[in-house]
Amino acid sequence: APAIELVDVVKDYTVDGVTTRALDRVSLTVGESEFVSLIGPSGCGKTTLLKIIDGLVTADSGAVLVQDREVAGPGPERAFVFQSFALLPWRTVRENIEFGLQVRRVPAAQRREVSDRYLEMVGLTGFADRYPDQLSGGMQQRVGLARALAVDPQILLMDEPFGALDAQTRHLLQSDLESIWEAGKKSVVFVTHDMDEAVFLSDRIVIMSPRPGEIHEIIDVDLPRP
CB closer to ligand ADP out of 45 and 161: 45
Q: Which residues contact 109 (CB under 8 A, 6 or more apart)?
A: none
Restricting to residues 42-71, which ones interact with ligand ADP according to CB under 6 A? 42-48
CB closer to ligand ADP out of 101 and 173: 173
**137-150 vs 93-103: helix crossing angle, rounded to 10:** 20
Helix segments in the chain, DSSP class H: 46-54, 93-103, 108-121, 137-150, 167-184, 195-201
- Smallest separation (angstroms) from ligand ADP to the CB of 68: 25
- Smallest separation (angstroms) from ligand ADP to the CB of 195: 15
Q: Are 204 and 29 in contact (CB under 8 A)?
A: no
Q: Which of 2, 10, 87, 101 lies closest to 48, judged by CA?
A: 10
Of 7, 65, 164, 172, which one interacts with ligand ADP (CB under 6 A)? 172
The yes or no reply on residue 1 touching ligand ADP (CB under 6 A) is no
Name the one range near ligand ADP by CB under 6 A: 70-78, 86-94, 138-146, 218-226.
138-146
Q: How far apart are CA 37 and CA 206, in angstroms?
A: 6
The yes or no reply on residue 147 touching ligand ADP (CB under 6 A) is no
Judge residue 120's burial from the number of C-beta atoms within 10 Å of its C-beta, 0-12 exposed, 13-18 middle, 19 or more buried.
exposed
Name the one range near ligand ADP by CB under 6 A: 41-49, 65-73, 93-101, 215-223.
41-49
The yes or no reply on residue 179 touching ligand ADP (CB under 6 A) is no
Q: How far apart are CA 67 and CA 63, in angstroms?
A: 13
CB closer to ligand ADP out of 101 and 208: 208
Q: Which residues bind ligand ADP (CB under 6 A)?
A: 13, 15, 20, 22, 40, 42-48, 134-136, 138-139, 142, 169, 172, 212
